[in-house]
Chain A
């Protein structure tokens, strides 16, 4: 579904990705973990062409990802993205946020898109908030609207970029619950996260990134319970037992 082959990216003198090779299969849930600055988010952003990679290749369902090629819109229509800071459209209601893509990008009929949009909002537990503006919602609610907006595009996979990092601790659970539901329904998900427990329970596989390379990868329980690499061990020790 998503293939990365020796992907490289630098910002000026700073080499952020130093040859990432990975494959995410259909229906797989893969979590990317690692310290901040390790390049986790950059990997995601390269996959849907928000950033341009400098070397290697990325293919989504066989289509080459190239930010400057017309095919990028096809890639993006198949890959939805959920952002750390939600990035909802503040001038539109929750429902309008959800139906924006279907109506204006996929040319769906307004009444059909609206009906489906309401269903999706109900699915993320926000049936009553269809007409609320983002400024009237909590962080957790905003992120769930963002997930509904992603689902409305009927994507083949969803990229989550630290979806709970901007949330108050008590709101993290409601977002993770929705993500868990999607995983159980067989959605292909690539999740950059610091939620180790979520990764352990929901992910099929975990990639541990440090300084732009994949240090360790494997089945989630294995990597997170018995990390082989010293840096993975240290990272997990720090994140699971703060101070």
Chain B
């Protein structure tokens, strides 16, 4: 145990560098996937045929390709097309794009769950589509969207480790590098697992709280 604590004191600063990159990748790709997901979802519910078809196509293509292949594509193929990205940028874009498809499906389900009467009331007040979305539909859809959104956040936190495949030295990769050079596999990976849990458990509790709140009366 004393051994473990001493080693931890030595490894933790290095692992924390990785943790910082994990947070960067997660936060960046979460923001990007939310933005893109909202765009795809709004295209899907726009009622404009070509936009709906395009969004559906984009979502299906993204969903049909493994995240790791999307990361490779952006990091290794894009430079050949003249777009060079740092590993971190590529990771954020790749994960953001990959997850935008799931975000879009969640957002769309939330939007479509809103009572048609709300749309008619907005229309009868003379609201245009954008105003109706902003003032009536989205504020109500958020309540439906939030619990699954929290789950997506947890998955993204864990999937940020896939950025290691394109050389981003985030927590998981940092851990395996330290372990490989010190042979202290138990200590290192216990620490890595604990660090992930420290980040994900608050999120898990948050999702549980949101779900309970959803089941309460509507406000």
Contacts and interface: CB of A to CB of B under 8 A. Distances in A.
Interface of A: 48-50, 73-74, 76-77, 79-81, 83, 85-91, 100-101, 104-105, 133, 135, 149, 153
Contacts of A79: 124
B136 A89 contact: yes
Interface in B127-157: 127-128, 131, 135-136, 139-140
B143 to A, nearest CB: 8
B219 interface: yes
5 contacts: A73-B128, A77-B126, A87-B121, A100-B125, A135-B219
Interface in B180-219: 217-219
Contacts of A83: 117, 120-121
Contacts of A100: 125, 135
Contacts of B115: 87
Contacts of A48: 123-124
A92 to B, nearest CB: 9
Interface residues of B, number: 19
A81 B117 CA distance: 12
Contacts of B120: 50, 81, 83, 87
Nearest to A159: B124
Given A90-B140, A135-B218, A105 B125 contact: yes
Interface of B is mostly: helix
A91 to B, nearest CB: 5
A76 B124 contact: yes
B118 interface: yes
A81 to B, nearest CB: 4
Contacts of B218: 90, 135
A174 B94 CA distance: 59
Given A73-B126, A100-B135, A105-B131, A88 B219 contact: no
Interface of B: 115, 117-118, 120-121, 123-128, 131, 135-136, 139-140, 217-219
A77 B135 CA distance: 17
A153 B126 contact: yes
B125 A153 contact: yes
Given A83-B120, A83-B121, A87-B117, A133 B219 contact: yes
Contacts of B136: 89
The 3 A-B pairs at the shortest CB distance, nearest first, are namely A87-B121, A87-B117, A81-B124
A22 B120 CA distance: 24
* Residue among A48, A73, A76, A91 facing the most chain B CB atoms (10 A cut-off): A91
A90 B219 contact: yes
Given A85-B117, A89-B118, A104 B123 contact: no
